[in-house]
Structure 1
Amino acid sequence: MRIKQAFLLLICASLWSCMENKGTKMLYLAHTLPQTHPVHKGILEFKKALEKKSNGALEMKIFPDGQLGSEREVLELLQIGSVAATKVSAATLSNFVPEYHVLGIPYLFKDKDHQFEVLEGEIGKSILEKGSKFWLRGLCYYDAGSRSFYTSNKAIRTPDDLRGLKIRVMNNQMAINMVNALGGSATPMAYGELYTAIQQGVVDGAENNPPSFVSSNHYEVSKYYTLDQHSSVPDVLLIGTKFWDKLSDQEKKWVQESADESSQAQKQFWKESVDQSMAIAKKAGVEIIIPEKSLFQEKSKPVLEAFLKAHPEMSELINNIIRE
């Protein structure tokens, strides 16, 4: 991967030199998602708007599919200025900016409207700006959906149905605490191993958003999908401050406006992807369960309490989000 990255960065450097000679600036954006993903479609809108607003003074070259490495590796490229922008999960950014941890608290947001009122308002903007001291300036948020439980042989209709079930989670303490609080047995595992693990009964199920549930083919080995929507961690569109600081005020305005416009378009792409994914799952015979979410919300409260105990400095931020 390092050799591959070095080769691609040499190409970037060569292209940068050519663009400079043309009197334009090239923004290199790398991410790990496939080109069919609604986030990639949002990024294409970012490129389209930026090049139109700047009348070609700013151009964008996109490297999708993990061509320049993992989320963590691309973040490092932003920090040293080799790549201008990327898209990563807010969960990944929590390793740099603690406030991003808050966005993963179960049932923090009342619904989708509440989530984006917070993210697109002063609270969300203040969190985006906090990454600047780590050379990672947030531009906007992208919808990454809500995570829900899916299982192979037992339907989850109430939290009690999780008792004794092994549920695969990301290697993230909040996700582990949430599943355990609901009565399940949280089982961290690499995503690439999950299909076989469900198929062979190593785990009883997992949790993810509808597009991921379908694109991973996990719907083939899972009979039930329970839309409890316990967490809604957004994606974040980032620009490295080493690139940002070289832009004029007008160029910064073009970049920010284009990012904001792409965020609105991406939300529609995401909704369409969810609708398509749910249709595929239903056609395959997956039972879609709409549970009483308040039962899950009540039983997951210890996760918030534990977080506040460990991070009392976050209480004001959390209260402001809840009151929004």
Structure 2
Amino acid sequence: MPRPAFSRALLAPRHWPAWLGVGVLRLVARLPRPALMALGRALGMLAQRFPSPRRRVAEANIALCFPELDPSAQAALVDAHLRDIGLMMVEFALGWMGSDEAIARVPMRIEGLEHLEAARAQGRGVLLVGGHFSHLELCARLVSQRIRIAGMYRRMDSAVFEWAVLRARLDYADAMFEKDDIRGTVKYLRAGGTLWYAPDQDMRSKDSVFVPFFGVPAATITATHHLARMGNARVVPFFHRRLPGDAGYVLRLGAPLENLPGTDVLDDTARVNACIEQMVREAPEQYLWVHKRFKTRPPGQPGLYGRES
């Protein structure tokens, strides 16, 4: 897939703040890993201490998804998640802008590669289905050291970040498909490609259905069912989590979800949500609770996020 061409229009003064941001990310990615993680923890402490609208989103999500926790335990999980957001910032920088040498030094282990190899032996494409965890960009790059993958993404609002990040991703990915490029994605899967995909955000799409997520009706896109069917692909759960301290990351490929795609799109979508929920329960503080996962509500049900809903 060709890397995006540079346009002189990106040098316009209105883009200078974005270029400054890209420069900061590059500098952060050059830090030695102990300093990088220390910076992430410091940013996380700041995120935890200062009130923000995103804290209120995380509080609403966690209260809804973990009703079995008492208020103090819910508050502790919110704080742990906000601290994790600081690590997410530096992990994004490393995943996007880190050198190959820096990535190779990140401790990690991959489990379950045999499931991917079995699908490939059948000549099938593979959908690696996971969730929006704080380290998703870094772990996508880590797994690309062992297997060739492509990804789906949503175009960024900033033209500068879109250019810089897409070029960075294409340094390690086979291809990056925009979320609406169904034809290109299906063609890639039919050719036996492996595609990383996370269907766990509220996209406010006409192709969404309400299925349970932590027992709550959640608007969920049905694309996993359709991509697997049209691309003749196996659906393989892909989970990653950060280990305590500086021990690195575990990346796990699960057994393919049997009989998916099936004949019922709601059933398939609910199965995918249940799979992602199981991942979240293993490392709840590392999930992206600051996203308004339940922004779209079933008819007649009130919004969950106040005026920001």
Name the TM tier (shorter chain).
under 0.3
**Is the radius of gyration larger for structure 1 or structure 2?**
1
TM-score by length of 2: 0.26
TM-score by length of 1: 0.25
